[in-house]
Structures are given as C-alpha cells and as structure tokens.
C-alpha cells in the first residue's frame, strides 16, 4: 500500500549544508520509499491519504543503544517484542548491544540477529559486536568477521573495558575496520559495591553509592588512548558533568570523541531511588541534580551527539528483589520521544536539535548508511507521525515490551506517536490510519 501524508509539519534536519526542512508539506510514500515532498501533492490512484494536519512528521527515530535480549534471554525481551516496543516509540532503527547469551562476539551470532530481525520486519536492527570474547575483557573478538556480517560498532556494554592495554588494542583494531568503539565507562574498583549514585541521597537512605568519578576517570583514560590511536570513541550512557567537560574538551581538540545521553539521566535524579523502587536501579546510576543540569547544558551546546535509550528489559525475577540484589536497567523505547519533547517545552533545546539528536545525529555518528534518519526522497520510508500536544500517562502494564521495568510509571507525558512506518509499512498504527 502507498500513502500520502497530508499537510503535516515535516521536519528533517539531515540536509547537507545545515539547512533545515521545517514546513507544512505533503509526503508521498510509494513502494516503501519516500517518493516526493511538496505542497498540494495529488494522490495517485490507490494511494491512501492520511490527514497529518497539526501533527509532526519526522524521520523514524534512531536509537544506537538497545538491549533486545535475543538470543538467550527471551523471557525478558526478544527481537519481535523489542521491535514492537520500538515502533510504539517511533523508533525504526536500533543498534542492539552484544550482551546476549551467547554474547555477540562472532559472525554466527551477528548473522542470527540480522536474520531474525529481517524475519520479524518490525524495525531495522543493526547489531553492535563485542569488544572482547565473551565480554570477559581478556582477548579481542573478531571485529572483521562481525563487520562482514553487519555490525556497526563494538562494545562490551554492561561491562567496561577495564584493561587499558586491551582498550588500546581495541581502538587500534577497530580503526582498521572503521568501527566506533563504544565504552561503558565505569571504573569497577571505584564503583565497587555501589548500587546507586554516591551522595546525599544514598547516605540518607542507607544504600552504598558509587561516585561520578567512576565514570569520568575512565573517560579521561580513554581520551588519552584516543589521542594516541586516533580511533573513533563513543561514551555510552554518559551521566556526569565531569564526563561532559572531558568530551567537550576532547571535541575542542578535534579528537574523534562522541557521547550519548539516555532519557532517564536527563529526566530523573537519584532522588528517585529514595523509595527503594528497583526500577530506578541502572548502570550508570541516576545522578544528582547538579549532574543532570550539566547534561542539559551539554545537550544544548552540542557536546552530546545523540539521545539513546539504553532500553534494558528485566523481568520480575531480577527486579522484584531488594535494591542491593536487583539487576540494573530500565525500559526506554516507548518513552524516549515524549521525554525529549519535555526538553523542548522546557526551553533546553529547540525542536530541530531534538530531531537531530534522535535521527540524523546518531545515524551519521555510527555511519548507519544513507537514507537512515532522513526524509530525503529515495530513502526508505521510515517515518513517525506525532501529536506533540497529546498527553498520556506512562503505564507499566501497557508497554509492548515483555518486561515492565519502566522508571516512568505514572508520569504524565506529552507527545503521542500516532503512526510509525518502517520501509513504508505501518508497524504501529493504533488509530487504524492505514487501514
Ligand atoms: O543498567 C544497565 N543495564 N546498564 C548496562 O550497561 C547494561 C544494561 C543491561 O544489559 O541490563
Ligand atoms: Zn546498555
């Protein structure tokens, strides 16, 4: 089926030369591709016309940090449920982390993820391969064969690369394959025993904290290694003000250093842990307000390259336990867009910057290929239609994920996805607009 999205506010900030497209336009989708953009387009015969007046029409969102749990932990999530959750959040491209069982550290696992996601057809899934075999931090995985099979970056996410020697080799090796190295920056010795952020709240509620420096000290070390090797380095889920200072300074010096921020880190603080709700437990932990403010400044001034969810589903088995014992991680796919819109309404960033952070920013950073994160005619028709005003209440029982561990349960948010098209096919259409 082909579609004509009529009179939406079409925003695309991917165009070369920095000019932004932001206008009330019609958008024609034919054969799974964006065929034409313009005013007063005629609907060819057989094309379904969808009224998008007053709605945002954006490129499908790109999320470079997702845990899909397949293979091996399908009771938490699988590629199918994760893709459905993504579609409900307007996300059409996801990079999935390798901490599956078995770990994605070789061609076989990468192949399996690629094949499974093609069968499901709910989103574009681009795997990230492991840095070290088995995520054990001892010897490097085979970057070349995983790259052939389709990985777009390497990471040991969930665990840091503690060994500076191994990190040096990883950067050198990744550089020869043009793969970004994504670091889960956490000095395990400094973080030891900490189940939340170290600070006043942890002291008050009697939980062991881990200091923000556990993150920034590792980022500082890594930036030295980047200066040495010249490889592309990306800080996953950056959460502290000091990390932002280091990344800002590295960029100023022209180093290939980038970072992402997760919505939970800009929308919540460690105060959320005060009720011992294990859905608030995440690595890196929710930080103090001072750090959150520094993230907001860095989102605004260009230090942050993209917003990524770190969607990390866990079941009741891992979460319905004491705070100390609970697994780290939160759902994120369905709430990233409405939380990002909060930044716009609060005047932290403008809508164009938000679209950049959620679409072409991450796509360019990870060289995901032409036609991703853009509405350029000829691109795959990955499109999200959003009612930016509509409010709704986040409800853990209504998520499309197999897990329920959202930290935003009960939060009133604004910004509802009305339709998600992936390669021209409706993958989320709660109002039946395409029927
Ligand atoms: O909170 C987290 N959960 N942080 C990570 O880095 C890994 C993730 C997971 O896999 O559950
Ligand atoms: Zn992660």
The kind and range of the H/E element at 2 are: strand 2-12
Query: Using an 8 Å Cβ cutoff, are 14 and 365 in contact?
Result: no
Peptide bond into 71 cis (omega under 30): yes
Q: How far apart are CA 48 and CA 434, in angstroms?
A: 7
Q: Could you tell which of 95, 283, 330 is best to mutate to test the pocket of ligand 1, judged by most ligand atoms within 8 Å of the CB?
A: 283
Residues 6+ apart with CB under 8 A from 355: 11, 12, 13, 58, 59
What is the CA 236 to chain-centroid distance, rounded? 9
Q: Could you tell which of 329, 331, 406 is best to mutate to test the pocket of ligand 1, judged by most ligand atoms within 8 Å of the CB?
A: 329
Q: How far is the CA of 25 from the centre of ligand 1 (A)?
A: 40
Q: How far apart are CA 310 and CA 362, in angstroms?
A: 14
Q: How far is the CA of 116 from the centre of ligand 1 (A)?
A: 22
Across the 435 residues of the chain, what is the mean pLDDT of every consecutive 10-residue run?
Answer: 98 86 98 98 96 98 98 98 98 98 98 98 98 98 98 98 98 98 98 97 98 98 98 99 99 98 99 98 98 99 98 98 98 98 98 98 96 97 98 98 98 98 98 95
In CATH, the number for domain 2-57+379-428 is: 2.30.40.10
Query: Using an 8 Å Cβ cutoff, are 233 and 222 in contact?
Result: yes
Q: How far is the CA of 180 from the centre of ligand 1 (A)?
A: 19
Ligand 1 contact, 280 CB (< 6 A)? no
- Picking from 315, 296, 322, the residue whose alpha carbon sits closest to that of residue 307 is 296
The pLDDT of residue 126 is 98
State the chain's mean pLDDT as an integer.
98
The model's pTM: 0.98
Same fold, 2-57+379-428 and 60-365: no
The pLDDT of residue 370 is 86
DSSP 102: S
Ligand 1 contact, 312 CB (< 6 A)? yes
Find the helix packing angle between 241-252 and 213-229, rounded to 10°. Answer: 20
DSSP 3: E
Residues 6+ apart with CB under 8 A from 309: 63, 65, 66, 91, 262, 263, 332, 333, 336
* Domain ranges (residues) in the chain: 2-57+379-428, 60-365
Q: How many CB atoms lie within 10 A of CB 204?
A: 10
Q: Specify the fold of 60-365.
A: TIM Barrel (3.20.20)
The pLDDT of residue 17 is 73
Peptide bond into 395 cis (omega under 30): no
What is the CA 267 to chain-centroid distance, rounded? 15
Residues 6+ apart with CB under 8 A from 312: 67, 282, 328, 329, 330, 331, 332, 405
DSSP 201: H
The pLDDT of residue 333 is 99
Give pLDDT tens digits for 271-329: 999 999 999 999 999 999 999 999 999 999 999 999 999 999 999 999 999 999 999 99
Q: How far apart are CA 27 and CA 119, in angstroms?
A: 28
Give pLDDT tens digits for 239-268: 999 999 999 999 999 999 999 999 999 999
Q: How far apart are CA 21 and CA 36, in angstroms?
A: 14
């Amino acid at each position: 089926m082909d579609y004509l999205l009529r009179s939406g506010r079409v925003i695309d900030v991917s165009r070369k030369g920095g000019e932004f497209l932001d206008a009330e336009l019609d958008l024609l989708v034919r054969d799974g591709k964006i065929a034409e953009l313009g005013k007063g387009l005629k609907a060819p015969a057989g094309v379904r016309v969808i009224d998008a007046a007053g709605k945002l029409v954006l490129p499908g969102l790109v999320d470079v940090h997702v845990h899909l749990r397949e293979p091996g932990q399908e009771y938490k999530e699988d590629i199918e449920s994760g893709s459905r959750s993504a579609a409900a959040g307007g996300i059409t491209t996801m990079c999935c982390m390798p901490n599956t069982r078995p770990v994605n550290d070789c061609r076989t696992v990468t192949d399996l993820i690629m094949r499974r996601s093609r069968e499901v057809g709910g989103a574009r899934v681009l795997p990230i391969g492991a840095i070290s075999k088995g995520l054990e931090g001892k010897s490097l995985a085979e970057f070349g064969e995983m790259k052939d099979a389709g990985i777009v970056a390497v990471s040991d996410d969930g665990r840091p690369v503690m060994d500076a020697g191994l990190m040096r080799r990883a950067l050198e090796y990744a550089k020869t394959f043009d793969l970004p190295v994504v670091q889960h920056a956490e000095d395990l010795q400094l973080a030891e025993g900490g189940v939340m952020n170290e600070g006043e709240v942890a002291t008050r509620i009697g939980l062991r904290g881990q200091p923000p420096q556990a993150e920034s000290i590792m980022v500082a070390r890594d930036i030295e290694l980047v200066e040495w090797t010249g490889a592309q380095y990306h800080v996953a889920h950056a959460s502290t003000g000091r990390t932002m200072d280091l990344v800002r300074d590295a960029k100023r010096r022209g180093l290939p250093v980038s970072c992402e921020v997760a919505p939970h880190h800009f929308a919540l603080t460690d105060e959320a842990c005060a009720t011992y709700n294990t859905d608030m437990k995440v690595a890196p932990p929710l930080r103090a307000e001072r750090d959150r403010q520094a993230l907001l400044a860095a989102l605004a001034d260009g230090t942050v390259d993209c917003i990524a969810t770190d969607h990390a589903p866990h079941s009741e088995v891992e979460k319905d336990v004491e705070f100390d014992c609970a697994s780290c991680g939160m759902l994120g796919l369905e709430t990233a867009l409405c939380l990002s819109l909060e930044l716009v309404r609060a005047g932290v960033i403008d809508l164009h910057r938000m679209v950049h952070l959620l679409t072409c920013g991450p796509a360019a950073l990870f060289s995901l290929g032409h036609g991703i994160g853009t509405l350029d005619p000829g691109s795959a028709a990955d499109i999200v239609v959003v009612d930016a005003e509509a409010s709704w209440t986040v409800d853990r029982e209504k998520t499309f994920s197999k897990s329920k561990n959202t930290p935003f349960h009960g939060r009133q948010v604004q910004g509802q996805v009305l339709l998600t098209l992936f390669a021209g096919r409706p993958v989320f259409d709660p109002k039946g607009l395409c029927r």
